[in-house]
Amino acid sequence: MLGYILRRVAGFAPILFVMVSLSFFMMRLAPGGPFDQERALPDQVRANIEARYHLEEPIWRQYLRYLGDVARGDLGPSFRYPDRSVNELLSLGFPVSVTLGLCALGVALALGGTAGILAGLRRNAFVDYLTMSFALFGVSVPNFVLGPILMLVFALGLRWLPVAGWGTWRHLILPSVTLGTFYAAYVARLTRAGMLEVIGQDFIRTARAKGLREATVVLRHALPGAILPVVTYLGPASAAVLTGSVVVETIFSIPGIGRYFVGSALNRDYTMVLGTVVFYSVLLLVFNLIVDVLYAYLDPRVQVQ
């Protein structure tokens, strides 16, 4: 098992190398630079700034310099926030994004799981149609629509929750629901499908024949099998709520790393863009690994080699 994990981790390096290289050159191909602004800089001032960040060097040397820095774990200074390094900004934003992501996943699993089980057990009944209609709604409504609607209703209308910001559990609710709804819908559909598959199998009939209570049959015997597709989905979903919180973080003014991702690309803050790309890449790789390992535990048919 440990050997397997180590082998996978060793495989990260070439993937990261390709990611960094591609992003580095794509970023430089985009028109405009980090220090282009409405008020054009005098040539000398621009030259001074570029010298400070080594931007006047040939591109291959900048590339090698960057690779060397990344290998040492240094993602460089942010161009937009000259007093801060990319490492500093990411380390400040990451716990926030993780908190938001976990809450959103919690919403997704709680809502989606319950809905999926109910729908699976009452196939083609009213509950099934109702929950699956909601699921369709959840998948189709983009979060930049859902977020402002929730804000209008719960913050401005009912005044139950704050509009935006960060710091208390009350600030967490609207963004978590906004971000989690899409995944809840997905989880509901997966759980329902898993439930339908498992519930018809022989061991369930056996459990029922033993005279077990329905709740025990469902939660103890059917559920572990039924949620396997959900677990598979959980890896990509965890990564997706973390990397996909860009819009939600902006709408709700949350100080996570998503705020930097789009902003830095638009600002051509080269080091910040690359820093977030490296960071997100590592995150995705690690999550996929965790899912594969977890899967081996949950499903005795899968063997880690």
Cβ closest to other proteins, residue 8 vs residue 80:
80
* Distant-in-sequence, close-in-space partners of 159: CB < 8 Å, separation ≥ 6: none
Cβ closest to other proteins, residue 14 vs residue 31:
31
Structure tokens at 145: 């629509």
Least CB distance from residue 206 to other proteins, whole Å?
17
Return the number of other C-beta atoms located less than 10 Å from residue 57's C-beta: 14
Cβ closest to other proteins, residue 39 vs residue 301:
39
Q: Please give the Cα distance from 257 to 95 (Å, whole number).
A: 9
Least CB distance from residue 13 to other proteins, whole Å?
31
CA triplet 136, 103, 148: central angle to 5 degrees? 60
Within 13 A of 303's CA, how many CA atoms are on the CB side?
1
Least CB distance from residue 168 to other proteins, whole Å?
5
Cβ closest to other proteins, residue 148 vs residue 229:
148
Least CB distance from residue 12 to other proteins, whole Å?
26
Alpha helices by DSSP H, 124-168:
126-140, 143-150
- Do the Cβ atoms of 214 and 62 come closer than 8 Å? no
**φ and ψ at residue 77, rounded to 5 degrees:** -80, 150
DSSP 8-state class, residue 141: S
Cβ closest to other proteins, residue 26 vs residue 110:
110
Least CB distance from residue 67 to other proteins, whole Å?
24
Cβ closest to other proteins, residue 65 vs residue 84:
84
* Distant-in-sequence, close-in-space partners of 193: CB < 8 Å, separation ≥ 6: 120, 229
Cβ closest to other proteins, residue 138 vs residue 258:
258
Least CB distance from residue 62 to other proteins, whole Å?
16
- Give the bridge partners for 85, in sequence order: 77
Residue type for position 302: V
Cβ closest to other proteins, residue 132 vs residue 231:
231
- Do the Cβ atoms of 221 and 204 come closer than 8 Å? yes
Least CB distance from residue 121 to other proteins, whole Å?
14
Rounded to whole angstroms, what are the CA distances from 228 to 20, 42, 137?
34, 61, 24
- Do the Cβ atoms of 276 and 90 come closer than 8 Å? yes
Least CB distance from residue 173 to other proteins, whole Å?
10
